[in-house]
């Protein structure tokens, strides 16, 4: 059967070896109806004559499809001029890593790439089957928006689930004042409330000396709850990761680790960062991982001059996550939360994603014994199978 299953029957029955939802289940069958999980059990039967697509995968393990909350879907970069713009990502590149949901971001370049471009790409990915969302804004303050207002973007644009990635402690940021940060986070919060969304503010944290201090002040000096604020790239250097651990413990806040392709001499890999946060006593439920995929990995000299760039990929995200399980840093079911359930909670999507449960979206990844994604289903439609050609 073709990977393009838009015309497939409304019913799909997966028969697998094991199901982690994320906790292990006795069930080995998963019935999907109209894009959602209709039943979980053993030896599930469908009435004779009903159209059903049967997937036999007894050698594979079903888990919630992964969620990547930080993807430059239109490509990042641009710090070295127009020739340094990163390419867009494809739906197949996403699904091949077992990822069913992405959140698109703009980064340094909010000029040649706009929120409108981002929305168009997000809707294109949705048309191809990926569950795709976006943050309005970019590094810049005031942030570029679709409607001219952060609250209106959140209230009226279904795909917009927050504001980001707003840059702090970085020479590429707008150097926002503390009151500007507080105002923007409150705008995102209220806009989210009006739309029934979480309305998070997703913060890019650079390697500047201020680190997380702007966010610490925000939570200490205002009524903004910690769940509205998500700092990412907290493992770009060791001192920042230690500060992130203190921040998470002090405010019961979540922090997002980036699975860097090459963390360099100063940074830590996603594996090392999660391991260190856990050793510091940060609850695993307060840690998420993302890829920064198709963003730029620019290099600057000591004066801040651009000297080169590489393009980030999402392969490191899966490799770091697999290593956490293989080296027994975390049990398999707990590790799943780092790239599924915890992320769904942070984004406010936990009522439909991040779990395999009746009524939830049928976003399912099938893993082999080495935890390598073999098939990816989103809303019950198979978007990727490892043994199939593009």
Distance (Å, whole) CA 29 – CA 44: 6
- Which of these is catalytic: 170, 292, 361, 363? 292
Quick one: which H or E segment has residue 213? helix 213-221
Question: 3-state class of 269 per DSSP?
Answer: coil
Task: Show the tokens assigned to 209.
Answer: 């000396």
348 DSSP assignment = T
DSSP line for 124-157: HHHHTT-EEEEEE--SSSSPP-SSSSHHHHHHH-
Binding site residue list for substrate: 77-79, 108, 139, 172, 236, 296
Distance (Å, whole) CA 39 – CA 56: 16
Distance (Å, whole) CA 320 – CA 273: 10
Binding site residue list: 70, 72, 77-79, 108, 139, 172, 204, 233, 236, 292, 296
Binding site residue list for Zn(2+): 70, 72, 204, 233, 292
Judge whether 292 counts as a catalytic residue.
yes
Question: 3-state class of 233 per DSSP?
Answer: coil
The distance in angstroms from the start CA to the end CA of the chain is 13
Q: Exposed e or buried b for every residue in 348-363, given b needs 16+ CB within 10 A?
A: bbbeebbbbeeebbbb
- Strand-pair partners of 287: 255
Distance (Å, whole) CA 286 – CA 19: 24
Q: Exposed e or buried b for every residue in 314-344, given b needs 16+ CB within 10 A?
A: bebbbbbbbbbbeeebbebebbbbbbbbbbb
Distance (Å, whole) CA 389 – CA 318: 21
Distance (Å, whole) CA 287 – CA 254: 6
Distance (Å, whole) CA 241 – CA 230: 14
Residues involved in catalysis: 292
């Amino acid at each position: 059967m073709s990977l393009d299953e838009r015309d497939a029957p409304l019913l799909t029955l997966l028969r697998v070896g094991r199901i982690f939802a994320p906790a292990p289940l006795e069930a080995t069958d998963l019935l999907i109806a109209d894009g959602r999980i209709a039943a979980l059990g053993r030896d599930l039967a469908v009435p004779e004559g009903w159209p059903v697509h049967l997937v036999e995968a007894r050698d594979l393990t079903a888990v919630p499809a992964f969620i990547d909350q930080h993807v430059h879907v239109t490509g990042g970069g641009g710090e070295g001029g127009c020739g340094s713009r990163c390419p867009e990502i494809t739906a197949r590149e996403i699904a091949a890593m077992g990822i069913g949901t992405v959140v698109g971001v703009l980064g340094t370049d909010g000029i040649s790439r706009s929120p409108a471009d981002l929305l168009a790409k997000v809707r294109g990915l949705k048309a191809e089957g990926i569950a795709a969302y976006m943050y309005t804004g970019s590094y810049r303050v005031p942030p570029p928006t679709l409607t001219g207002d952060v609250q209106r973007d959140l209230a009226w644009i279904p795909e917009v689930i927050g504001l980001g990635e707003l840059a702090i402690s970085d020479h590429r940021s707008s150097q926002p004042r503390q009151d500007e940060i507080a105002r923007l986070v409150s705008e995102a919060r209220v806009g989210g409330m009006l739309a029934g969304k979480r309305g998070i503010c997703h913060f890019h944290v650079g390697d500047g000396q201020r680190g997380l201090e702007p966010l610490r002040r925000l939570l200490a000096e205002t009524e903004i709850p910690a769940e509205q604020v998500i700092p990412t790239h907290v493992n770009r250097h060791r001192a920042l990761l230690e500060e992130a651990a203190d921040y998470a413990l002090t405010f019961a806040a979540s922090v997002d680790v980036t699975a860097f392709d090459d963390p360099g001499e100063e940074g830590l890999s996603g594996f090392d960062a999660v391991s260190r946060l856990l050793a510091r006593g940060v609850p695993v439920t307060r840690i998420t991982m993302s890829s920064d995929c198709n963003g730029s990995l620019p290099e600057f000299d000591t004066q801040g001059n651009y000297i080169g760039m590489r393009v980030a990929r999402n392969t490191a995200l899966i490799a770091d996550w697999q290593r956490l399980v293989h080296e027994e840093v975390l049990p398999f079911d707990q590790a799943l939360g780092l790239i599924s359930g915890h992320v769904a909670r942070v984004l406010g999507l936990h009522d439909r994603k991040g779990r395999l449960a009746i009524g939830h979206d049928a976003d399912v990844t099938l893993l082999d014994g080495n935890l390598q994604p073999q098939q990816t289903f989103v809303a019950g439609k198979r978007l990727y199978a490892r043994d199939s050609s593009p």
